[in-house]
Every structure is written in structure tokens, then in C-alpha cells.
Amino acid sequence: MKNTNLQAIGALFLFLLTVSLSFAQDTIKEVYKIASKDSLGLEIFIPDDTNSLRPAMIFFFGGGWNGGSPDQFRPHAAFFAQKGMVTVLADYRVRSRHQTSPFEALEDARAAMRYLKLNAEKWGIDSSRIVASGGSAGGHLAAATALTKIVDTSQENYPDPKPAALVLFNPVIDNGPGGYGYERIGAHYKEFSPIHNITEGAPPTLFFLGTEDRLIPVITAQYYQMVMEKVGSYCELILYEGEGHGFFNFKNHDIYQQTIEETSDFLIKQGFIAE
């Protein structure tokens, strides 16, 4: 009973600390796109010290391209803003709210990345050091902004949406036959699926996965890492034994904290934050 109480107190302390951190930075809300008669927004966390251009980290929520909320990664955004990064929570179209497909979700993610780069100086961002992150379908969007080469002639004069690094939480990376979402993607998987588009120059990647994830097989993650290494790119795969899909979320306080620390280590190694 005593241990249970201590765990509850610790969890409450962590929650209150995260809430306090989320109000410690100024946040800016800005519309980056009007689509489906809806305004799609970015919420931007600005570190206290903005004397120089900072690296940034943008988060895409999960939900199978069907639902979800940017609030999923609010604790992560608050934490890394404290570390000196400009952090961003991105909204995008999903089926439950906009009756859209995964293709519109990726279109929005690419638009969000471009908007961030176009306005980088305004928010004190070094546009060459933007990290894309996300969980599940949001992990797909982050990876796809880096790897897929979708041709959009209306955006040809805009910045390349490709981020400088990826932090992926049980991401949907295989949309091919037998992969997640193939019934909705169909033959377009060849240009939509991250694992089918890994080429030389793919950004360094941190990949989290639970070994009991029923949507993303461990062997798929291992193959992703193998192909990344084959093209000369860095990919760190961290497996969480016995954990299922969504294990990294803030409600799982201990694991959340561990993945935050491992993400920090990765960002330090890649030169995005100081040790």
C-alpha cells in the first residue's frame, strides 16, 4: 500500500511539473492552412532565450488518420522547449472531423513543414535544424515528410518539407501489401509508404517500438533500420519489451519519462540540444 501511494504521489508530481512547464513558455497559435473549410493550426512553444536561431521540433499526433488531437504531444513539446528548442504541435485533417483520407493528412503535414520553414526566422528557428516527430499515423506523417517524393506542382517554389532528423514513436512506416492501411492506400503505397522510399540522405532517426505492438511488427522496424544503414543513414531502434501500441504516451508516466530521456540523448548526439 505504501509503495502504491508513493507511486501515485510521484505520478501526480510529474503531471503537475509537466503542466507547469507547459505554461512556462509563451505559445503562439497560427493558422498554416485553410482546408475542408477548416483552419489548420500550429501551436508554437517559444523558449525564454531567443537571442539566436534555435533548432525546432514539430509533433504530429496519432490516430490512424481517423482522429486524435495535438494535445497528445503537449508534454513533449513543453519539455523540449525547456531544453531550448522551438517546439510545435501540428493539427491536420482526419476522417472523423473532415471526412478525409490519409492522402490529405500527408498533404497537410508537408504544408505544415513548409510553413514552419517559411516563417522560421520570425520564430527564431534555424530552418536547417527542424526535427519531425510523431506517433503511429503521426509517425508516418513525420517519416513521410522526410522520405516520400510526392510531386506537388502548386508547391514547387516552396521549401522542401524534409526535416533534419526524425523521432518516431511506434510509427506506421509500411503501407504496402500486408502493411498498415494498405486497404486505404492501395497501389499508391509506392509513393506513400516511408519504408518503400528510403534512399541516400535519409535523415538520422530514433525509432521506438513495443515488442507486443499488434500494428507494427518488430521485424518491420528491424528491416527499416537495416535499409537505413544500407543507404548510409543512422537509425537507432529502441524496443520496449512486452509493450503494446501507444506505450510511450504521457499517461504511462515511467515509460514516458524514459523515452523522453532517450530522445534527449539522441538529440544531444545529433547536435540539436546541449548536454
Number of domains in the chain: 1
The residues, ordered by sequence, that sit 6+ positions from 4 with a Cβ below 8 Å of its Cβ are none
Most confident region among 34-43, 144-153, 192-201 by mean pLDDT: 192-201
Cβ–Cβ under 8 Å, residues 143 and 173: yes
pLDDT in tens, 81-92: 999 999 999 999
pLDDT in tens, 206-256: 999 999 999 999 999 999 999 999 999 999 999 999 999 999 999 999 999
24 is in which domain, residue-wise? 2-269
pTM summary value: 0.90
In a domain, 105, yes or no: yes
Please tell me the distance from the alpha carbon of residue 78 to that of residue 191, in angstroms, as a whole number. Answer: 34
Cβ–Cβ under 8 Å, residues 216 and 209: yes
Reported as a pLDDT band with limits 50, 70 and 90, residue 23 is very low
Any idea what the CATH number is for the domain that residue 67 is in? 3.40.50.1820
In a domain, 96, yes or no: yes
- What is the 3-class SS of 68-95, one letter each residue? CCHHHHHHHHHHHHHCCCEEEEECCCCH
In a domain, 275, yes or no: no
